[in-house]
Amino acid sequence: MPSPVILWYKPESSSSRVSLRDLSLACQTLGTAGFEHITCSNASQLLSKAERISRGYVTSNGGYGWMLVVLCASLAENAALAHLLRAGMPSMGLVACVPDQRESTCLLALQSGIDAWFTPDASEQLVVATVFSLLRRMGGVDPLVLSGADSSGWQLVDHAWKLQLPSGEQVTLTTLERAFMLALTSCEGRSATHEQLTSTMGLHDVAAGAEIGRERISVMVSRLRRKVKALGAELPVRSLHGKGYLFNGPMP
């Protein structure tokens, strides 16, 4: 079966402040899950690539469920492209940048066939979370499961004092590690800002300021990565360009 594909469409005239550099975070994360990333800078390129890829990528139910497109053009262009893509590939996932959250805007997005959206001032963290949220809804499968990861997933066990790997092996967590994992996995999209984490973990009162709290989290994450690596696995926690962290491993 061909690798699942994610197409990023962002013309130079786009008003979204989310740059291709920011989007590369999601592409890198999805790459670990087996997704192929393709960037398109004009509409004809996007449509031709989507059409070419779809010829060799038909799912068992006749759809194109694991091709996903992120549209970062104007609302009118996004809506027009969504109409065309949806007509030819009804099962694919569509995420788009919209100028605002007004009812008329949301109605146009929905009527165009767009599944999920974000505004131009959205952080890369929100874009990543939106993409992963849609991927989880598409067939009810977590992205990493597609790449053959163990379906048992990652779990917090023994009242969250241990992190259980998909292999069944366990890592004992320190108080700070436990608070971090609980905070991260309980947030929407399993992503959290530094402010959310430092507050939940009780680091917001550090006398030297927020930067010290961030440094403590960074050191803690590095140590936890090493503990997991010692068991032959990679901790599925990604840094969101200094904004926070994302947990992108499958969980039951």
Best-predicted range by mean pLDDT (46-50, 112-116, 186-190) = 112-116
Summarize the confidence of residues 149-167 as an average pLDDT: 79
Encoded tokens for 39: 């960037």
| CA 176 – CA 238 distance, rounded (Å) | 18
pTM, two decimal places = 0.54
Query: How many CA atoms lie within 13 Å of 176's alpha carbon, on the beta-carbon side?
Result: 14
**154: buried, middle or exposed (CB in 10 Å: 19+, 13-18, 0-12)?**
buried
* Amino acid symbol at 195: E
Please report the pLDDT score of residue 29 as a whole number: 55
pLDDT for 211-251, tens place per residue? 677 888 889 999 999 999 999 899 999 888 778 898 888 88
Domains of the chain: 5-146 (3.40.50.2300), 155-247 (1.10.10.10)
Report CA torsion sign: 28, 130, 168, 227: positive
pLDDT for 100-157, tens place per residue? 999 999 999 999 999 999 888 777 667 777 777 777 676 544 444 444 444 468 888 8
Summarize the confidence of residues 193-201 as an average pLDDT: 82
Between 100 and 57, whose confidence is greater?
A: 100
Helix (H) or strand (E) holding 1: none
